[in-house]
């Protein structure tokens, strides 16, 4: 696949303040939705002013940064709000595997934003800045038919067992193995319905949509605001309990679990090692805390720092991806084992997803708890961190729990 750039020679961009729009997702006029929303704040977009389709390769993030810089630098920008996310913005998602050709960046014609008491509308290529007009009402998926993806459950358990053997033999410390499920609906699946259900059930997650990939990720890969950066490392997971007592007991077991603490340590150390050369100051907690979501509890480490140079958020994404939380360690060995055992192409699942503006500010998460929508078909993904003490049946159960977010989004 070759690099493809669809963009006019010069973008005319206008951002104006608007009254608080309230719910952002309800402002999306048609199913081709772009979104990045958490606790009701963020960005939604529609239409396409420019699109970059990137081939795989080690320089894909550098290429994306350069091309976006050229497009944004040539633009005629009237930004009357001037906060992160105003002016021209690109929503994007990158393929998980460095060799993947699935990476895409889209500059929408319209962006509706809401953040820290500000609300705005950005319009590209028109004289006026109209508000969103509902062109097609959202319709919930119906007549869902489910089937296995690349590997049925027994075969995936066998793959986990093989990975455990490789780890115990000293080939690597950790690998993350994913599996997929496929569902067909009676009518084309509307991303707005999935976004609505995900945002309502998981308000603390980053609900996203870009080029058909829709999900709600708890994992913030990187946020850049000026010179400041933030990241949230998640690794180590358990399902929520059925009672308050059970919930507390599960959280305590997770926090005390040597297996899960080891898995988390790999991820946190990698983020520290990747960000340290880029930062004048970096804080990584000595031990994780618990992040409680409606369906899962995670071990979490919030990371904060300050960049030493004026780097775009995509430069930092390039330094971080893939983390041990979604690949394993050592990374090259883990990637080879993923290619050998998973039996599928992940596409943009577990790759970076988010947005970047003309200043280089932006927010990028890891595309977890998600599905790739293609007409009437959706492909769901879930992954588990495998270490020496992993049990295949327990990992299968964890993957099933992680499918629950998108099952809920599709089934209601």
Distance between CA atoms of residues 217 and 64, nearest Å = 23
| Pairing of the two strands 50-54 and 4-6 | antiparallel
The residue annotated as part of the active site, out of 41, 157, 187, 219, is 219
The closest of 134, 76, 72 to 107, measured between CA atoms, is 72
Which residues fall within 8 angstroms of residue 143, CB to CB, at 6 or more apart? 185, 186
Spatial contact of 130 and 142, defined as CB atoms under 8 Å apart: no
Joined tokens for residue 215: 């999900």
The H-or-E segment that residue 219 falls in is: none
Q: CB count, 10 Å around CB of 319?
A: 17
174 noted as active-site residue: yes
Which residues fall within 8 angstroms of residue 140, CB to CB, at 6 or more apart? 190, 193, 412
Strand partners, 207: 37, 216
Q: How distant, in Å, are the alpha carbons of 163, 177, 392 from that of 396?
A: 14, 10, 6
Distance between CA atoms of residues 224 and 354, nearest Å = 12
The residue annotated as part of the active site, out of 2, 48, 174, 263, is 174
Joined tokens for residue 283: 């804080």
- The answer, yes or no, to whether the previous bond of 37 is cis (omega within 30 of 0) is no
**Torsion-angle region of 328 (φ positive above 0: left; ψ -120 to 50: alpha; else: beta):** left
Distance between CA atoms of residues 204 and 182, nearest Å = 26
**Torsion-angle region of 125 (φ positive above 0: left; ψ -120 to 50: alpha; else: beta):** left
SS3 333: helix
Joined tokens for residue 328: 């394993």
Cα–chain center distance at 74: 29
Strand partners, 364: 222, 354
Joined tokens for residue 353: 């997803």
> What is the CA angle 24-30-34, rounded to 5?
55
Residue 408: phi, psi to the nearest 5? -60, -45
219 noted as active-site residue: yes
Residues with catalytic roles: 174, 219
């Amino acid at each position: 696949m070759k690099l493809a750039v669809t963009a006019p020679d010069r973008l005319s961009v206008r951002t104006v303040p608007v009254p608080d729009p309230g719910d952002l997702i309800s402002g999306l006029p048609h199913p081709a939705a772009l979104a990045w929303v958490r606790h009701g704040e963020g960005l939604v977009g529609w239409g396409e002013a420019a699109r970059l389709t990137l081939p795989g390769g080690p320089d894909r993030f550098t290429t994306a940064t350069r091309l976006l810089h050229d497009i944004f630098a040539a633009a005629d920008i009237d930004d009357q709000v001037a906060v992160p996310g105003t002016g021209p913005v690109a929503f994007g998602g990158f393929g998980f595997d460095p060799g993947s050709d699935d990476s895409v960046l889209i500059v929408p014609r319209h962006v509706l934003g809401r953040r820290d008491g500000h609300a705005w509308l950005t319009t590209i290529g028109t004289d006026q800045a109209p508000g969103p007009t509902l062109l097609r009402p959202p319709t919930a998926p119906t007549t869902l038919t489910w089937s296995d993806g690349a590997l049925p459950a027994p075969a995936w358990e066998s793959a986990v067992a093989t990975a455990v053997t490789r780890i115990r033999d000293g080939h690597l410390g950790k690998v993350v193995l994913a599996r997929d499920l496929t569902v067909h609906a009676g009518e084309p699946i509307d991303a707005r319905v999935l976004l609505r259900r995900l945002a309502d059930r998981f308000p603390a997650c980053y609900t996203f949509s870009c080029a058909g990939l829709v999900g709600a990720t708890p994992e913030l890969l990187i946020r850049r605001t000026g010179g400041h950066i933030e990241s949230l490392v998640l690794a180590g997971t358990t399902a929520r309990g059925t009672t308050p007592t059970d919930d507390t007991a599960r959280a305590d077991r997770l926090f005390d679990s040597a297996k899960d603490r080891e898995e988390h340590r790999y991820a946190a150390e990698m983020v520290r090692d990747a960000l340290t050369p880029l930062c004048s100051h970096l804080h990584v907690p000595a031990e994780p805390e618990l992040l409680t979501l409606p369906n899962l509890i995670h071990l979490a480490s919030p990371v904060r720092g300050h960049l030493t140079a004026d780097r775009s958020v995509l430069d930092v994404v390039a330094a971080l991806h893939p983390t041990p939380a979604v690949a394993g360690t050592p990374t090259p060995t883990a990637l080879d084992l993923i290619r050998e055992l998973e039996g599928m192409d992940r596409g943009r699942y577990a790759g970076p997803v988010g947005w970047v503006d003309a200043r280089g500010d932006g927010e990028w998460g890891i595309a977890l708890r998600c599905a790739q929508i293609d007409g009437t078909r959706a492909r769901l993904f879930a992954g588990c961190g495998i270490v020496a003490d992993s049990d295949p049946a327990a990992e299968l159960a964890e993957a099933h729990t992680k499918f629950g977010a998108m099952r809920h989004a599709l089934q209601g």
